[in-house]
Structure formats: C-alpha cells, structure tokens
Amino acid sequence: MRRGDRRGGDGDRAGDGRKQWVVGEQHGSTAQGRSGGDTRSEKTPLISGSRSPITKEVRTGGYGGTADAAIIQASTSPLLSQDNTNNNNSSSHPGQQRAYWTRWYMLTVCSLIAFAQGAIWNNFGPIDLAVKPLFGWDHGTIALLANWGPICFLIAFIPSAWLLAKGIRLAAGSCILVVALGSGLRCFTATDPTATYLIHLGQFLNGLGGPVAMAMGPTLSAAWFPANERVLATGICATFNYIGVAFSFLIGPLVVKQPGDRFDRNTTAYQFMWYMWGEALWCTVCLLCVLIYFPNKPPTPPTLSASTKRVSFISGLLQILRSKSFWSVGAAYGVMTGVFTGWSAYLLPNLENFLPENRAQDESGWLGFYSTMVGCVVAIIVAKVADSLGGRMKTIILVLCLGAAGAGVWFSLVCLDVIPNTTMMVYISGIVTGTLINASMPLFFEAAVEATYPIDEGTTTTVITTLNNVGCLIFLIMPSIPGLGNTWVNWTLGGSCLVAFLLMLLFDEKYRRLSFDKGTVYEYSQIQ
C-alpha cells in the first residue's frame, strides 16, 4: 500500500472519483526502500486547485530525495540568505531550501546577455539616416534587418524551449554563443556589398538567440530565487532585453553621427566599425562569464517547486497549446508587446512623417530611450509590488493595458496635431505609453507560468515570447504594403493595448506554483 493510501484511504475523492495528489513530507524508511535512491516515479500530473490535509511524496528535479512541504528548512551560512527559520537538520537534508548569494551573479550575467541581444537586434533603426547612404539601403532593408529577429524566433523557438528545459547553463551558453558569432561577423568590413551580406548573416544569428534571451528569466528565477523574489528576478532579466533596445536608441546616434549637408563616407564607416567592435567585445565578455562559472542550479533548491520534476517537454508543449487560460494571457502579451516592439524598431521612419528630418533621428532616439528605460524601471518596481502581494497580477495587468491604450491614443492625436504637436507633448505621451507597456511584461511571464505549472517555465515563456515575435513580424511587414503610409502605425499601438485588455478579462487567474511552494495541497488535473 502506498503511503498516501495509509494516511488517507485510497486517495480518491468521495463523489467524483478524482485522485488527490499532494506535496509531502519525507519518511526515511519509505525513501530508503526504493532500491537505494531509485528516482523512478509516476508521471507528474498537472495541477488543478483544491486543498487536502493528505501528503504524498513528489519526485524531485535532480536534487535527490523528496521534497518537504510541511517543514521548509534552511541552514545559516555566510554565503547563504536565510529564507526560512527551521535550521534543525544538516545541509544534506533534501527537504532544506536555501537562497544563495550566487543567484545575483547569475541574474547579472543573464541580464547582460539579454541586453546584448536586444541592443544588437535594434542596431540599425536608430542610425537609419547614416547607414542608408553608407550601404545604399532603403526603408525596406532597415525593416528586414529588424525582421530577422521575429523570423529567426519562429525557427528557433522549439529548440530554445528544449534548451531551457535542460537548464539555464546550456540555454544561456548557446544563446550568447550565436549572438557573439553574429556580432563578430559584422566587424570585418564596411564595404558594400560584402558588408551587407555579413550584416544580414549577423542579424540572423542574433535572432536565433532571441528566444532564450527573452524567455530565460522565469527559468533562472525558478531555479535560483525564493518565491518572494521570483517576479522581481524575472522582471529584471526580461526588462534588460528591452533596456538593450533602449540603449541602442541612445548609443547608436551618439557613435554613428547623423550625416550633415555633405556625406563623408569614410567618417561614417569609421564610426560604424567602432560601434560593431564595441558590441562584439561586450558579447565576448558575456560568453567568457558563462564558460568560466555559470552553474545550472544551486546545490540546494530555493523553493519546493524548484526541486520538483517538471512535465516532459513534448507533453508540456502540447498541453500549453490546448490551454484556454494560456492563450488568453499569451495572446494579450503577443498582441500588445509585439506591436510595441515593432513600433519601437520603426520609430524613426514613423516620426519622419511628423517631425522635420533634421530632428527625426535625434528625437526618435531619445524618445525610444526614455520610454523604454522608464518603463523598465517601473516594471521592476511593479514586479517587486507583485512579489509582496503574492499575486493579483491580473488586476495590475488590466490597469496597465487600459492606461497604455489611452496613452497610445494620446500619442496618435499629438502626431496628427489634433493635440498641439510640441516636443514636450510628443515626449510625455510616448514615454507614458512605453512605460505602461514595458511595466506589464514580467507580469505576463509570471502569470503564464503560474497558470501552467508544473510545465517547465522555459517552455511556457518561449511560447509566449514567440507570440510577441509573431505580432512584431506582422507589424514590420505592414510598411512594405504600397500606399499604406504611416498614419496607421500609432493607432495600431493604442488599439493593440485595448485588445490585450479585452483578452485579459478572459484569463482564469490561478497561482498553482506559488500555492505549491506555500505547502498548499492540490488536486491534480489537466490545465484549462
């Protein structure tokens, strides 16, 4: 008879016959009786949500032993932060949970990788007026260079989800390797047509690293961070990809100057090559950090869920694709943030229709920088608030979506001169729009992960970021349609936020993983 049977009958609920599975405490004799550490166990089912006092052993994810939901222990150490108060057992006790200071190093490296990938993806939009005469490009070439990101995302998202399911070291290492190779290819020459071919190839390789760069935050936070820091860690890592995009608006025009009345090819080529070499050096440093020290997970898990085996990759992917809850939050994220990402990449050509050409590059650069930077700072603050509240992410997302929709309409009216088109008004309306959209991103990630647990975090976030890139790809294809103009660009941004708000109203908010970490007992079933 299984231990769950001894403590709670046959484990079935009276009335509907559904089996009850719950997190459990460690029993030495039972654990030892499984062929000396045999880790075989039944397939982990998906969580539904009812409570029970019964306990059951759960399979652990590579740490050995069984997880303990009733007694969460942590030892004191100069190198460890103590997240729980029971220190009675030794450090080898498999039920213990610790948060290592190393987690901040891991977060720093992952954030710098995400930064590099985002900055390189958005290299050419902010310096549009300099590189077009240098290489003989047009708006279509600039759009294609940005479009390699979402195109490659669709190619690489399944392999990337598999890499994330294998662990953060393999995933982050693969990501920064292709990003570093892509950045290096662009350093050979500024002479066309060779330079154009190498730049396209470099952007293609950078795009292959996009799924991991955008989706590794929840995988890292689940493996290394305690429950009350997970949304914050996800927020920092996720926003650094967008901070990289923001800095490309600032650094690009500062290094590669906008041509004056007389175009000097040699000067522009020299500035361009310095820009490419600087980014290649950054990527090389990140790659060395991963090669020198970048452990997959800490010796002792920070939470109960971190030690629990996830659903297999294929099974998890199929269940996500059938989940109504996932599609409501995933589609909302994809529509709003995908359009915003494309809008950011197309900001200079967009503003050329509303601002004098001699101001367009500088103003678009500063607007893109400020809107993204302020948004990322607010996103981290909102993530910390969500951690402290222990939930309520749906409510926060709804408020942000509705506010962003209003701000997007405001920006559109300013550009059309319905509201006075002053520099200050363009900046304020654009920054408010970008801030509200960026602030929602880590909450979308964590809401999706909570709704689909125990599916691997990397699988969930890779799928949701793929939807972002589908939205971005569609948006960036639109300028190629003859006669469409640019008026639609800003209206589409505001409309996408309203669509996201309506989709989030349909989202069935559940905190499966968070409740699991708190020791709540669950009845398992397919996600809805």
* DSSP letter for each residue of 9-53: TBSBPTTT-PBP-------HHHHHTTTTT----PPPPPB-----S
Give me the residues paired with residue 73 across strands.
86, 96
Q: Cβ(390)–Cβ(509) under 8 Å?
A: no
Instruction: Report how far residue 521's alpha carbon sits from residue 523's, in angstroms, rounded to the nearest whole number.
Output: 7
Quickly tell me which residue has 């590099």 as its tokens.
116
Residue predicted with more confidence, 160 or 358: 160
* Strand, helix or coil for residue 498: helix
**Which residue from 44, 7, 494, 118 is spatially nearest to 309, judged by alpha carbons?**
44
Name every residue whose Cβ is closer than 8 Å to that of residue 469 and which is 6 or more positions away in sequence: 149, 150, 153, 154, 157, 210, 338, 341
Task: Judge whether residue 415 has pLDDT over 90.
Answer: no
HSE of 176 in the Cβ direction (CA atoms, 13 Å)? 28
- List CB contacts of 350: < 8 A, sequence separation 6 or more: 343, 364, 486, 489, 490
How far apart (Å, rounded) are the C-alpha atoms in residues 345 and 361?
12
- Check pLDDT > 70 for residue 80: no
- pLDDT reading at 398 higher than 90: yes
* pLDDT above 60 (res 83): no
Tokens found for residue 53: 């006092």
Residue type at position 130: A
| Overall average pLDDT of the 260-276 stretch | 87
Is the pLDDT at 11 greater than 70? The verdict is no
Environment class of 92 (CB within 10 Å of its CB; exposed 0-12, middle 13-18, buried 19+): exposed
Higher pLDDT, 265 or 35: 265
Average pLDDT, rounded, for the chain: 77
Q: Give the predicted TM-score (pTM) of the model.
A: 0.72
Provide the residue type at 110 as one letter: C
Closest listed residue to residue 501, CA positions, set 401, 408, 394: 401
**Using one digit for the tens of pLDDT, what is the confidence trace for 339-390?**
998 887 777 777 777 666 666 666 777 887 888 788 888 888 888 887 777 6
Residue 169: is it exposed, middle or buried by C-beta count within 10 angstroms (0-12/13-18/19+)?
A: middle
- In angstroms, how far is the first alpha carbon of the chain from the final one? 32
Residue 296's beta-bridge partner residues? Answer: none
- Mean pLDDT, residues 298-324: 82
Nearest in space to 27 (alpha carbons), one of 94, 126, 110: 94
Task: Give the separation between CA 439 and CA 454, rounded to whole angstroms.
Answer: 26
Q: Which residue has the higher pLDDT, 479 or 206?
A: 206
Of 40-49, 100-109, 111-120, 240-249, the range with the lowest mean pLDDT is: 40-49
Q: Using an 8 Å Cβ cutoff, are 326 and 448 in contact?
A: yes
Host H or E run for residue 80: strand 80-81
The neighbouring-strand residues paired with 86 are 73
Q: Do 460 and 452 touch, CB atoms closer than 8 A?
A: yes
pLDDT tens track for 99-153 = 788 899 999 999 999 999 999 998 998 888 888 888 888 878 888 898 898 889 8
308 vs 456: CA distance, rounded Å: 10
Amino acid identity, position 472:
C
Q: Which domains does the chain have, with CATH numbers?
A: 1-70 (no CATH), 101-508 (1.20.1250.20)
Establish whether the linkage from the previous residue to 349 is cis, with ω within 30° of 0.
Answer: no
Tell me phi and psi for residue 297, to 5 degrees: -160, 160
Q: Is a pLDDT exceeding 50 seen at residue 16?
A: no
Which residue has 């640019």 as its token pair? 486
